[in-house]
Amino acid sequence: MSQVAPGEESRLHREYVMDVRVRELSDGDGPRYRFEAPRHEGITFEDPDAAELYADIYFDVNGFEEAGTGERGVPPVIIQAGRDTLAAYFLTQDGIDEQWVGSFMGVQPGKILRYKSRVQDRATNIRSRIEDKGLE
């Protein structure tokens, strides 16, 4: 599952239930953060908050795979999950902030931050229930 390039160092940034994690990668150009999960090709972010939000989205929709969605595509499960999940997903993309997402969705940036918070809260709740039931 881990795809660390030659000459690249890796350390665990955050570990979640069900073998999901964010790794910090370093190769001299500064840190990057790689989301890893079973049956997911992995994705790397410049910002640790984006990688952690991506993990929250992953739990919110019960997992998804981006392979095959194309360079600018959105996985169908993200779209089907609702406006809050779609807004949070957009926030994980390079160069996109709550101002852009708010403009795109026709709402104030503050509402986008509330959408993001809902996704994070649901993901935290899901992970807690997995741990409580011993389903790791």
Could you report the per-residue pLDDT of 44-88, keeping only the tens digit for each?
999 999 999 999 999 999 988 777 676 667 888 999 999 999 999
Could you tell me if residue 4 is inside a domain? Answer: no
* Percent of the chain's residues with pLDDT above 70: 89
Indicate the average pLDDT of the chain: 89
The string of DSSP letters for 73-108 reads ---HHHHHH-HHHHHHHHHTSTT--HHHHHHHHTS-
* Residue 1 binned pLDDT confidence (cut-offs 50, 70, 90): very low
Could you tell me if residue 19 is inside a domain? Answer: yes
28 pLDDT exceeds 90? no
Beta-strand ranges (E) seen in the chain are 9-15, 21-26, 31-36, 43-45
**What φ, ψ does residue 37 adopt, rounded to 5°?**
-155, 155
Could you tell me if residue 72 is inside a domain? Answer: yes
Number of domains in the chain: 1
Could you tell me if residue 2 is inside a domain? Answer: no
Could you tell me if residue 122 is inside a domain? Answer: yes
> End-to-end distance of the chain based on CA atoms, in angstroms?
17
For the residues 21-29, what does the mean pLDDT come to?
88
Could you tell me if residue 88 is inside a domain? Answer: yes
28 pairs with which residues across the strands? none
Could you tell me if residue 116 is inside a domain? Answer: yes
Q: For residue 97, what are the domain limits? A: 9-132
* Residue 101 binned pLDDT confidence (cut-offs 50, 70, 90): very high
Could you tell me if residue 41 is inside a domain? Answer: yes
